[in-house]
Structure formats: structure tokens, C-alpha cells
Structure 1
Amino acid sequence: MAEGIAAIGECMLELSGQAGSSWRMGYAGDTFNTLWAMRALSPGHHVDYVSAFGDDPFSQAQIAFFRDHNIGTAQSPVIPGARPGLYAITLTGAERSFTYWRSDAAARQLASDPAKLEKSLENRALVYFSGITLAILSTQARLTLLNAIAAERAKGCHIAFDPNYRPRLWADAAAARGVIAEALEVTDIALPTFPDEEMLYGDASPEDTARRLERAGVAEIVVKNGDQPALISHYEKLESVPATHIAAPLDTTGAGDSFNGAYLSARLLGIPPAEAVRRAHRVAGAVVQVRGALAPFDFLRTAFDR
């Protein structure tokens, strides 16, 4: 029986502001943040982060960080002369903004070896990717990736996808909509965020988002909406689940990604969608009370099991 979990995308170097002019370096990226939560909450599954890495000291330290937390890299290629992308977080209260240096990141070559990519996705219970994963790739690389995902889905692997629309990564909105439509064709579980969908599609409500994704053929949908209720569509039956209220969040970085990881972990455990969303809300509520995208594993487990 397939037990592995794979997330596909770009894990970057993260600089977060400290006191004065000091900065703390960590590792983060949307799909990696989700996998981090799944590593904490799915102890019975082997997890791999599928990407491409450089051969510089920062890439080597990143891979070592993964290994120290029992996260593999499967057959991800190492690209001579390449290096990781970098971003810096600045906060205004709990709200964050980002500055990126990523145009030549190694992760853009994650589909450069189709045979290794195929091998990396074999024998999985779940494969997870996002619109950011697709946005950083060339047209041919996107096709290679989506074909590899479709092949694993045909073998019984479940595919989860967060459209995670970031306008600066796309030539225009029409290009993003076209590629996301292709991704939805191979998706079993969609995890969109309503403000993103409102921006990209003009959806008037989370219900509009859910119904549009139902028409695209997605069987299980959770529309996140910040501190508002999440809307579930499970085989076209809608259910709203209130969010966990946090009076004074410290840092909202990674909250939606951690929600995704908790939801998917719960579903792998056989927990029904509504209860899975309640647990995901609790985990997201815990994450906004710590600095940075990656909360300690024990902290995530406590929130998930409460």
C-alpha cells in the first residue's frame, strides 16, 4: 500500500526581521510549509520535498535541515552552479510583506529530468502542489510536471492542489487561469483561498468559488477565507466551518499553508471533512502565534489533537 507523501515546489531561504538590523535565516515556501505540518501530523508516512537544489553551501545546509527533520528529497536533481531563492519578511503588526530574489533559483529546474521526477512521485498516498509551483516553471516544464502528476493519479494516488495565485509570478491573469485550469483537471482535493480567487476570477463569494471548482470536476474543495469560516464542498454538498478566533495574532506567515497540511493530514487519517477543517483551523490559529512560517512540531500536534 502506498504510504508516502510528496510536496512539489520551491523552498527558499527566509530572512525574518529581528531587533535592530539583525536578521534570522530559516527555510520556507508555500508547499514546504504545508509539508512541514504534514511531517508533524502524519508520523506514519514517509515525506519527501520534490524540487531541485543547487550545489552551494546554502543548498547543502537546506538539504541537511530537511534530513534533520526526517524530510527526504526523493530523486530531486542537484543543479551544478545553482542556488536557492531568497525572500525577506517585513511585518506591520501581524501582517507581513515580502521581498524576493528568486529569478535564477534552482527550483525552477525541478522538472529538468523527467525520469527522476517520475521516480520521485512513485508510490505515494498523496501528492501536493500549488499555483506557485507551476508559476516558477517554463511552459514545457509545467507540461512535464502535470503529466507526471496525472500518471500517478491514474495509479490511485490522491492529488491535492492550492491555486495560491500570486500576480507577480505570472505574465497576466489569463495565463494564470489557463495553467490553473490544467492543474484542476488532475486534482482530487482543491484548497483555494477566497481573496485569491476573487482577485483572479471575480468570484463574489466562497460559494461561487466552490461551485466553479465543482464544475471543473474537483470532488473535494475547501475554500479558506482568513479568519472567516471555511467552506467545504464534498461531492457538491456545501458546509461552512467557523475559524478559530485569535485575538492578537503575532505573525500570519504560513497560516494558510499550515491549514492545508493539517487538513490533508486529517483526511489521510480518515477524519471526515468538517472535523478535518476544525483541526486545520486550530493549527492555523496556533501558527499565527509564533514567528515565522514553521512552528515546532510539538506545538502543531498539540493544536491538532486538542
Structure 2
Amino acid sequence: MVGNGVASIGECMLELSGQTGPNWRMGFAGDTFNTLWALHALSPDRPATYVSAFGDDPFSQGQIAFFAENGIGIGSSPVIPGARPGLYAITLTGAERSFTYWRSDAAARQLASDPAALSKNLENQELVYFSGITLAILDEAPRKALLAAVAKARSAGSLIAFDPNYRPRLWRRREDARAAIVEALAVTDIALPTFPDEQTLFGDDTPQATADRLGQLVREVVVKNGEAPALIAEGGALREVAAIHVAVPVDTTGAGDSFNGGYLAARLAGHSPQEAARRAHRVAAAVVQVRGALAPFETLRAAFDKL
């Protein structure tokens, strides 16, 4: 019997977001953390755990404290002496963002260095979430350990959700990314891909091609495609759910991650895939109207519950 907790596995970095002039705002973000943030905001009664590895420097301590202040724990994630978090800076052209990273020696790359601690973090979770970026930051042996821990959690009754989230710069070879993502899909119950990523990595011509391909591997697939409709494949049926147009977006950082969090929160609450996608679109539309990847909890809740 699993509990009602949610766990997300990956790397949370220091985020520098550009303001006017030489001043920068520091926060904490990363794809799987952004999703957990939204999921936790929308399912506050579920224990939330961010599964990673952390340093013992002041920035890591601040990160862990920030999680705790917002009701998110780190479980048995290792704290590694001398390690430190990764860092990225966002620069904006209008609302479109570009990123510069400093993350090659980040502590999170050791998140699977203790397989027993990793497995313990995934025990009795109702939902376990991870992404292609989680896979990309790991070498081959720890990647295998991660997928083994996820498979173990799934066999014990946890629901597994995965966003392939392909980032070419994080992979040595395209073939490595394809192989690792296909392995991850084999232990996945809900896949949350983004069409342009799938087109780049697998050569899909259309979102329907992505949905058809993944629908043969995973029982529930939601293909995101920016402001175009999301495409849901479940039980052999395909359904479109229209996105929400935001006339003047402020910052598109974290929109897809927040969609994932909204979708998973709705599914855990018993909503149908179509209703979950409608709520997730509203959450994503709210996120692009604030700066940075993390919208305030009340903003996310208002969007999720809006009639």
C-alpha cells in the first residue's frame, strides 16, 4: 500500500534572472523542481519530497531552507561535503528566454551515488516524477541505478510520470539520449513530452506522430506544443485540449514544467485527462505572466480552480 506523497527527482539550480541594469535576482529553479513546486501548491495535503544531492555550502543550505519554508523536504538525499549547486542565468528578449549554465560539477550529478538512499526516497510515494534532464546529468551507471529505483517504486504501486525534456547540450550524443529516454519510458505510466523536443530527437512530423509512437509504450501520453492544443493519447483514443493564449507574456520560463505539475495534481485529484489538461493550461498561462519559473502558490491555485 503506497502513501499519498509525491517525489520529484532531479537538479534544482540557483537561478539568476535579469532585471534592468546590472542587478540580478537570485532564486531556485530547475525543471523537475518547477513541476514539484506547482504540484505541491495544488496538492498541499500531499507530502512533497525533492530527491537530489546537495552541497554543504551556504547556497545549498539556503536552497534546502527555501524548500522547507515552502513545505518541501529532501528525504534521504545526500549532502556532499565540498559540493555545490549548479547555476544558470536567464536573459530575456521580450518574453522569450535564453539560458547560460554553470553546472558541470553540480552536486545533483551525484543524486544516484547512494542507490539505497535513492530507493528509500521513492518508497511509499503515490507519484514519482523525473525527466530527461534528470537522466542527462547522470553518467551511465548512476542512470541505470536511477531507472532501477524508479522501476522498484513502480512495482510497489507508485505512479510514474516522466517528461523526456530533451536538451541537446546536456548529452554527448543524440543516440545516447534516445536510448536513455526509451529506457525511461519503459517504466513510465504518464508521459508528458513537448512536441518540438520529440521532433528534434526522434524526427516526428506531427504531434499525432509523437502521441502514436509514445502511446505504444506508455498508457497515458500528453503532448505539449506551446500555444497549440495539447494532444492526449489514452486507451487508443486521441483528444485535443486547446491551450490558452496570453496576449502579452512576461516570461515563459517554467511554463511546460508548471503544466506538468497542474496536470499531475488534477489526475491525482481524480480528474479526467481532458479536464487535467484544461487545468494545466490555465496554470501554464498564469506562470507566463510572472517573472521567473516559480509563480506564487496562490497564483497557481487561483488558475487551477478557475471555472
Gaps of 5+ in 2: none
2:214 corresponds to? 213
Describe the superposition over 1:221-244 as per-residue Cα deviations: whole angstroms up to 9, x where unpaired.
Answer: 000000000000012210000001
Ranges in structure 1 where 5+ consecutive residues have no aligned partner: none
1:255 to 2:255 alignment: yes
Secondary structure of 2:130's counterpart equals strand
- TM-score norm. by structure 2 comes to 0.99
Q: Is the 8 A contact 2:221 2:234 kept in 1?
A: yes
Shift of 1:211: 0.7
| Superposed counterparts of 1:203-242, under 5 Å | 203-215=204-216, 217-242=217-242
SS of the residue corresponding to residue 112 of structure 2 reads: coil
- The residue aligned with 1:62 is 63
User: What is the CA distance between 1:173 and its match in structure 2?
Assistant: 1.0
The RMSD of aligned alpha carbons is 0.5
Indicate whether 1:33 and 2:34 are aligned.
yes
User: Is the counterpart of residue 288 in structure 1 residue 288 in structure 2?
Assistant: yes
**2:52, 2:111 within 8 Å by CA — same for their partners in 1?**
yes
- 2:73 maps to a residue whose letter is G
Give the secondary-structure state (helix, strand or coil) at the position aligned to 1:116: helix
CA deviation after TM superposition for structure 1 residue 172, in Å: 1.4
**Mean Cα deviation higher: 49-58 or 37-46:** 37-46
2:86 is aligned to 85
Residue 18 of structure 1, CA deviation: 1.1
> Could you list the per-position Cα deviations for residues 8-67 of structure 1 after superposition, in whole angstroms to 9, with x for gaps in the alignment?
000000000112000000000000000000110011210000000000000000000000
Helix, strand or coil: the match of 2:261?
Answer: helix
Q: Aligned AA for 1:154?
A: S
2:278 pairs with 1:304: no
Q: 1 CA distance for matches of 2:44 and 2:269?
A: 11
Identity %: 70
Tell me the distance in 2 between the aligned counterparts of 1:34 and 1:90.
21
In terms of mean alpha carbon deviation, does 37-46 or 127-136 score higher? 37-46
The TM-score normalised by the length of structure 1 is 0.99
Alpha-carbon distance in 2 for matches of 1:279, 1:3: 21
Shift of residue 169, structure 1, vs aligned partner:
0.4
Task: Give 4+ residue runs of structure 1 displaced > 2 Å after superposition.
Answer: none
Q: Distance in 2 between matches of 1:256 and 1:214?
A: 20
Distance 1:235 1:133 in 2: 28
- The equivalences for 1:62-211 within 5 A come to 62-211=63-212
* Cα deviations by residue, 1:196-245 (Å, 9 ceiling, x for unpaired): 00011110100000111122x20000000000000000122100000011
Distance 2:150 2:236 in 1: 24
Residues 1:278 and 2:278 are matched in the alignment: yes
The answer to whether the Cα contact below 8 Å between 2:221 and 2:233 also exists between their aligned partners in 1 is yes
Contact 2:227 2:245 in 1 (8 A): yes
* Whole-angstrom distance in 1 between the partners of 2:288 and 2:179: 33
Aligned length: 305
